[in-house]
Structure 1
Amino acid sequence: MSITDDEIATQPRLWREALAGLDQARDLLAAPGEKVLVIGCGTSAFVAESLAFLREEAGLGVTDAGYASEPRVWRDWDRVVAITRSGTTTEVIAALRDVPAGVRRVVVTGVADSPVAEFADDILDLAAADEKSVVQTRFPTTFLTLARAALGYDVEPAITAVEEALALPLPIDLGGLDHFVYLGTGWTHGLAQEAALKIREAAQAWSESYPVLDYRHGPLAVAHPGSLVWLFGSADAALADDIRRTGATVLLGSTEPLVDLVQAQRLAVAIAAQRGLDPDQPRHLTRSIILS
């Protein structure tokens, strides 16, 4: 499935279909009172950050997020949730192999019979949301929608809002833009990081991501009339005014952050088309990192 045809547009339908697995997702992701570590690489690490914030916000217990590729001091986690679309990522497999005995290992993947299955006690199979493209779009958003529902959030408004947004043209004038900045707060910081990665991967564009209020602490220095600064999950008017003084274009996020992420995916595809690039096959990248 290519991000240049219907992959982005099919996301709301896939999200609704994924909710059929809500009971299993509650069992694997909510686990009230347990201490949970969520890990991944690349896109999956950003999704892990968002999930960790949402689970703690829901009052379900201490939840940490980390990169599977980064060594860490082991804490008394009861469960490790590993996110890997392909199920073949070397660092994720290595991290799960090192999980102490007795800790429940949950794998979220698009390929249930992949090598990571050997190290999983439970698998949340999202094969319907898998994609052939190197660049991820619908797999992470499908998982986040299912995870939010499993944690007790009402996701129907998000699904409806994205359907409405996808029915309209992208509300951004691409002319003169050469710099793309995404700012998030709380669980949307992970979404902002993912949005910035999408435009780097798909369009080879200069992009950055930061916590909303940290943007004044240095990164604002490079804002200029070619910058687009997009605030996810925040409508900080004072910060927006500070950014506009640089000549940059400011977008205040939707009340539903997943609308912003899907629109950012659309923007990445549009910039890739403008530059004559194939957004499905970024240079130097592969669908999965497998190390010898």
Structure 2
Amino acid sequence: MPANDFFGIDRTTLAASGALHTAREIAQQPRMLEATHALVAALKAQLDAFCAPITHNPDARVILAGAGTSAYIGQILAPLLDRQLAARVDAVATTDLVSAPQLHLDATQPLLLVSFGRSGNSPESLAAVTLVEQQVDVARHLIVTCNPEGKLGKLQLRQAMTLQLPEATHDASFAMTSSFSCMLSATLAALSPTPISDARNTALAEATAGTLISTRAPLQALVALACDRVVYLGSGVLQGLAREAALKLGELSNGAVATCYDTPLGFRHGPKTFITTNTLVFVFVSNAAYTRQYDLDLIDELRRDGLAARVIEISTHLRDAHAQDSLLIPASANTADIDLVFPCIAIAQLYAFLVSRALGLSPDNPNPQGMVNRVVQGVRLYSLET
């Protein structure tokens, strides 16, 4: 696309409509993924040395913590890292940890708290770190943040390491886009016992770039349907992705589009009633052959039902009979599902961005009333009685 364009829209038009930051931050993800990979690779030995006393200890625990979009990073990574590390790995939203610490913290169990923070100024993130310091005897903190000026990275803690991502990932727009993908990429590379190779990272960055190009036109056609309900479904690590995709659309449409997320198997157990004739369904299809069977069964069932406006499969394997209702992720047929998260979330982000513009909203600030804010406001924190 021309240097002054994002998604076929010139920068002047985007700036005038309050959409430039969001467009740029979605589009920059392939480049930022490369920059993040290089940064983490240079720190890998230091990260391993810092995390190993916890991650190599089968009696210890890792908590992946954040709020909103940042929480979904943990939800995506936890089941994968739990299989790779000796320590138990859980995703616990800071909003859950702060409101009920007695359910999530064990004073005698060594803990690595991984805190995600685009701004590093979320009150729940700061409170979660403080609670861990107060309540856990042996605690380490890995802080993954995009803002060099954030409070989270400046806290005085017993044992802490800050993974400061490239400053361009500190999204200026309301919705988290490149901050989400790069914090996820950085944490996977930092904690995985197997280093992420340059070739693997380049492949996922290129798949993300190619997906943004190839899906723009079909996504614009789907936006033209003006569906007021959208469902996102995914299995395994793609379930957390579905949850983030649903949030992104809810945020950028300012609630004008109702969203729902689930797994393909779970969707039959009640949530399927969400579907109306004005509902669009997106299914992130797993690359794991066993899991994909369940994804495709649900897709085919929904199409037979004939109630949803469209059922779109997002996949690396194109089924010829369903090509008109498919979005193909290029050059990724043998990719692990965790790597599919990056091109898949780019699709969801771009769709939400295009919907926001179609509704006449400013994607950079879709809620000008201030009911929700880029950094959450209105949180009252309470002291924990011990």
Same fold (TM over 0.5): yes
Q: Is the 8 A contact 1:93 1:119 kept in 2?
A: no
Change (3 A) 1:95 1:162: same
Q: Shift in Å at residue 270 of structure 1?
A: 0.6
2:237 is aligned with 1:214: no
Q: Report the AA paired with residue 161 of structure 1.
A: A
Equivalent residues of 1:12, 1:163 under 8 A apart: yes
Q: Greater shift after overlay, 35-44 or 96-105?
A: 96-105
Partner in structure 2 of residue 272 of structure 1: 356
Checking the alignment, whether the CA contact within 8 Å between 1:85 and 1:130 is kept in structure 2 is: yes
Q: Which has the larger radius of gyration?
A: 2
SS at match of 1:253: strand
Pair 1:80-2:118 in alignment: no
Q: Secondary structure at 1:263's aligned position in 2?
A: helix
1:26-74 residue CA offsets vs partner (Å, 9 max, x unmatched):
5366764242011110001111111212212334531001111222321
- Percent of pairs identical after alignment? 29
Aligned to 1:279, the other structure's residue is in SS state: coil
TM-score using structure 2 length: 0.70
Report the Cα distance in structure 1 between the residues aligned to 2:32 and 2:362, rounded to whole angstroms. 24
| 2:82–2:90 contact (8 Å) kept in structure 1 | no
Residue 107 of structure 1 aligns to a residue whose secondary structure is strand
Does 2:84 align with 1:64?
no
Runs (5+) with no aligned partner, structure 2: 1-18, 287-291, 317-339, 381-386
> Aligned partners of 2:282, 2:298: CA distance in 1, in Å?
11
Q: In structure 2, do the counterparts of structure 1 residues 246 and 60 end up closer, same or farther at CA, with 3 Å as the change threshold? A: farther
Aligned mates of 1:119, 1:55 — CA distance in 2: 27
Q: Partner of 1:146 in structure 2?
A: 186
The one-letter code sitting in structure 1 at the alignment partner of 2:122 is: T
1:178 corresponding residue in structure 2: 228
Q: How does 1:171-250 map to 2 (within 5 A)?
A: 171-172=218-219, 173-174=222-223, 175-203=225-253, 204=255, 205-234=257-286, 235=292, 236-244=295-303, 245-248=305-308, 249-250=310-311
Task: Give the aligned partner of residue 211 of structure 2.
Answer: 165
SS at match of 1:5: helix
- Aligned equivalent of 2:39: 21
Question: What is residue 135 of structure 1 aligned with on the other side?
Answer: 175
Q: Deviations over 1:162-204 (max 9, x none)?
A: 1111222242322142211111222211111110000000013
Letter aligned with residue 129 of structure 1:
T
Q: Which has the higher helix share?
A: 2
Kindly indicate whether structure 1 or structure 2 has the higher relative contact order, using CA contacts under 8 Å at least 6 residues apart. 1
Which piece of structure 1 moves more, 152-161 or 259-268? 152-161
**Residue of 148, 151, 155 corresponding to 1:118:** 155
Match of 2:337 in 1: none
From the superposition, tell whether residues 55 and 170 of structure 1 become closer, same or farther in structure 2 (CA, over 3 Å): farther
**Structure 2 residue corresponding to 1:156, chosen from 183, 202, 227:** 202
Q: Is the 8 A contact 1:196 1:209 kept in 2?
A: yes
- Does structure 2 retain, via aligned residues, the 8 Å contact 1:49–1:190? yes
Task: Give me the whole-angstrom Cα distance separating, in 2, the residues matched to 1:119 and 1:231.
Answer: 44
Partner Cα distance (1:259, 1:65) in 2: 22
Say if 2:34 is the partner of 1:11. no
The answer for the alignment partner of 2:145 in structure 1 is 109
The one-character-per-residue Cα deviations of 1:227-257 (angstroms, maximum 9, x if unpaired) are 1211224342211122121432222223423
Structure 1 residue 277 displacement after superposition: 0.6
Distance in structure 1 (CA, Å) of the matches to 2:350 and 2:156: 35
Deviations 1:213-235 (A, max 9, x none): 10000111121232121122434
Partner of 2:12: none
| Cα deviation 1:76-118 (Å, max 9, x = unaligned) | 2421101111111111111110112430011111123322221
Which stretch has the larger CA shift, 269-278 or 231-240? 231-240
For residue 119 of structure 1, report the CA deviation from its aligned partner: 4.8
Secondary structure (helix, strand or coil) at the match of 1:64 reads strand
Which runs of no fewer than 5 residues in structure 1 stay unpaired? none
Q: Give yes or no for contact 1:134–1:285 (8 Å, CA) kept in 2.
A: no
TM-score normalized by structure 1? 0.92
Greater displacement, 45-54 / 70-79: 70-79
Question: Which piece of structure 1 moves more, 174-183 or 225-234?
Answer: 225-234
Matched, 1:261 2:345: yes
Distance 1:119 1:265, change over 3 A: farther
Find the aligned partners of 2:56 and 2:314 in 1 and give their Cα distance: 33
Q: 1:3 to 1:247 in 2, by over 3 A?
A: farther
What is the number of residues matched between the two proteins? 292
